[in-house]
Amino acid sequence: MEQDYFVHPTAVVDDGCVIGKGVKIWHFSHIMPACTIGDQCNIGQNVVISPEVILGRNVKIQNNVSIYTGVTCGDDVFLGPSCVFTNVTNPRSGVNRRGQYDKTHVGTGASIGANATIVCGHDIGQYAFIGAGAVVTKNVPDYALVVGNPARQIGWMSEFGHRLQFDEKGLATCAESQQVYQLINHTVKRIQ
């Protein structure tokens, strides 16, 4: 059967992976068994994808990213250079906690900036934007913009990645797409 994805000769893809059409896996990356990579994903240089990780369609992973067992990503997720996920809350070298991994889900369209750390057991909402170097220690709502260590929310982002400014009626328009968003009770949704 002909392979319909690209793997650089220096990359290692273990048996038992499901890899979608049009995927590109670049230099020195390691794709471990039992992970699922959706169509059109681009996996940069020196990326580690651990067993049972699930990536949706069109996920872009920049260089030096580590994605550990327990992580799932929706479609169109962006993972910036050297960002990392954890999967054990209280790791110890002398205590085996294999199989006790906490889960983390990254919602559709979310972006995680360079060198950010996502502490396990905390989900990232759809279209959320995690700033470079942020350390996420709690759940992040859909469309939220968070920065810092520990990460704190400083605003809201559109699906096109622009900061939203809400008026007195709780409405905001994306400058690029002209999509309209509504803010009610600390929850944002796109209404047009």
Condensed to tens digits (0 to 9), the pLDDT of residues 4-45 reads: 999 999 999 999 999 999 999 999 999 999 999 999 999 999
Q: Which residues contact 2 (CB under 8 A, 6 or more apart)?
A: none
Shared domain for 125 and 169, answered yes or no, is no
Cα torsion angle, 142, 127, 43, 58, sign = positive
Shared domain for 190 and 109, answered yes or no, is no
**Cβ atoms 67, 47 nearer than 8 A:** yes
Q: DSSP assignment, residue 103?
A: P
Q: SS3 for 48?
A: strand
Instruction: Report the distance separating Cα 171 and Cα 158, nearest Å.
Output: 12
CATH code for the domain of 82: 2.160.10.10
Residue 168 structural domain: 162-192
pLDDT of res. 1? 56
Q: Which residues contact 141 (CB under 8 A, 6 or more apart)?
A: 125, 128, 153, 186, 187, 188
Q: Roughly how many angstroms between the first and final C-alpha of the chain, as a whole number?
A: 44
Is residue 189 pLDDT above 80, yes or no?
Answer: yes
The tally of domains found in the chain comes to 2
- Written as six digits, the tokens of 165 are 């400014």
Model pTM greater than 0.85?
yes
pLDDT of res. 17? 95
Shared domain for 123 and 173, answered yes or no, is no
Q: What is the pLDDT of residues 96-118, one digit of tens each?
A: 998 889 999 999 999 999 999 99
Mean pLDDT, the chain, whole residue set: 97
Instruction: Report the distance separating Cα 170 and Cα 188, nearest Å.
Output: 9
Shared domain for 95 and 120, answered yes or no, is yes
pLDDT of res. 14? 97
Shared domain for 146 and 175, answered yes or no, is no
Shared domain for 88 and 182, answered yes or no, is no
Shared domain for 5 and 28, answered yes or no, is yes
Shared domain for 98 and 171, answered yes or no, is no
Shared domain for 124 and 172, answered yes or no, is no
